Amino acid sequence: MERNSNGREWEKMKKELNELMTEGRDYAQQLKSQLGSTSSQESREHLAKKILESYHKSLTIMNYSGELDQVSPHSHGTGSPKSDDSDHQEPHIIQSSKKSMPRWTRKVIIAPGVVIDRALDDGFSWRKYGQKDILGAKFPRGYHRCTYRKSKGCEATKQVQRSNEDPMLFEIIYRGIHSCSQASNVGLIIPVQVLEPNQTQEQENLEIGKASLDTGHHNYNHQAHLHQTLNYPLPSTLNLESNNVMLQEKDHNIGFLGSTSYSDANYNFLASYDAGSASHSTSNSPSTIGLESPFENFGPSHPFGGFGGFYS
């Protein structure tokens, strides 16, 4: 996994990213400190806007960098993870064969009793346009595109694939960045917690356990590949991963979040979940979500580390 000849450019971008992220963090901290105070609504909104701008710029840069250096040593065939990767969920950051669209993967583990609909909700509004049986995959793959594709020309798409090994695990492959207004809406619900690269699985699980307790989901089954469970009152529960495996990977994929609107028709073989729920959930989902983000290989000292509990 050598850095390619674009290493220098990459370093440059990384530096820019650092600056942007630092800026974003500062704004975030300001916002945080204002939360408890009597600061004006405008002031907070201004800060939030600045944070979003930082995100936006960062993402844009990363988008370009993705084109510079997109490689995927782990082209784990979409669909059927034949290899037993369940343990070490490598980042499936894959060079999209489709032009230079950024592509990244997010994994969602559904806790028992959790409405899949909600668990998969990522803040964006999606429209399903296809479903396909994939060779070697037990479950069909769902194809979704942004609801605003027509009206706003938003090219973001995502694929949802249920894991063979673990039916509770959903792998969501995102492609493209939302150019619709949803992007800014969702910006606020992004991140959350970044695991230190040297954080052990035990520590991880501890965190998970704590989170589960917090949400009252005590019977959560922690799988080995489960990364984290977070809980906060936002439309989706997301987290940035940053573990050792991830760190070996290329770091130029855009991670952005979209949100799902599912009618669970395709996934309703889980007797346990509440099939009655509908789309566009605004849940405080206790589900576990592992987001393979473009930030994952930023070290703990990276500004992004500062986002740690910032949104929580």
Partner DNA sequence: TGAATTTGACCCAT
Partner DNA sequence: ATGGGTCAAATTCA
Name the residue nearer to DNA (CB basis): 64 or 143.
143
Name the residue nearer to DNA (CB basis): 61 or 172.
172
Please report whether residue 136 would count as binding DNA according to CB under 7 A: yes
Other beta carbons within 10 Å of 73: 13
Part in contact with DNA (CB under 7 A); list of ranges 62-70, 125-133, 189-197, 292-300: 125-133
Q: Identify the residue among 30, 78, 164, 223 touching DNA (CB under 7 A).
A: 78
- 176 CB contacts (<8 Å, ≥6 apart)? 101, 102, 155, 156, 157
Part in contact with DNA (CB under 7 A); list of ranges 104-112, 236-244, 255-263, 299-307: 255-263
- 169 CB contacts (<8 Å, ≥6 apart)? 86, 107, 108, 109, 110, 162, 163, 223, 225
- Rounded to a whole number, what is the distance in angstroms from the first to the last CA of the chain? 34
- 88 CB contacts (<8 Å, ≥6 apart)? 225, 245
Q: Identify the residue among 193, 261, 288, 293 touching DNA (CB under 7 A).
A: 261
Please report whether residue 147 would count as binding DNA according to CB under 7 A: yes
Please report whether residue 97 would count as binding DNA according to CB under 7 A: yes
Instruction: Give the C-alpha distances (Å, rounded to integers) separating 29 from 25, 48, 49, 191, 290.
Output: 6, 11, 13, 14, 25
What does the DSSP assignment read for 228-241?
Answer: -----SSS----B-
Name the residue nearer to DNA (CB basis): 20 or 115.
115
Part in contact with DNA (CB under 7 A); list of ranges 56-64, 123-131, 243-251, 285-293: 123-131
Please report whether residue 128 would count as binding DNA according to CB under 7 A: yes
Please report whether residue 135 would count as binding DNA according to CB under 7 A: yes
User: How many residues belong to the site for DNA (CB under 7 A)?
Assistant: 32
Please report whether residue 44 would count as binding DNA according to CB under 7 A: no
Q: Name 160's bridge partners.
A: 142, 172
Please report whether residue 77 would count as binding DNA according to CB under 7 A: yes
Q: Identify the residue among 262, 295, 298, 304 touching DNA (CB under 7 A).
A: 262
Q: How far apart are CA 194 and CA 299, in angstroms?
A: 10
Please report whether residue 15 would count as binding DNA according to CB under 7 A: no
Part in contact with DNA (CB under 7 A); list of ranges 41-49, 76-84, 234-242, 250-258: 76-84
Q: Give the footprint of DNA on residues 151-170 (CB under 7 A).
A: 157, 159
Say which amino acid occupies 116. I
Instruction: Give the C-alpha distances (Å, rounded to integers) separating 189 from 84, 135, 235.
Output: 32, 35, 7
Q: How far apart are CA 29 and CA 47, in angstroms?
A: 9
Give the shortest CB-135-to-DNA separation in angstroms.
Answer: 4
Q: List interacting residues with DNA (CB under 7 A).
A: 77-80, 97-98, 125-136, 141-143, 145, 147, 157, 159, 261-263, 265-266, 278-279
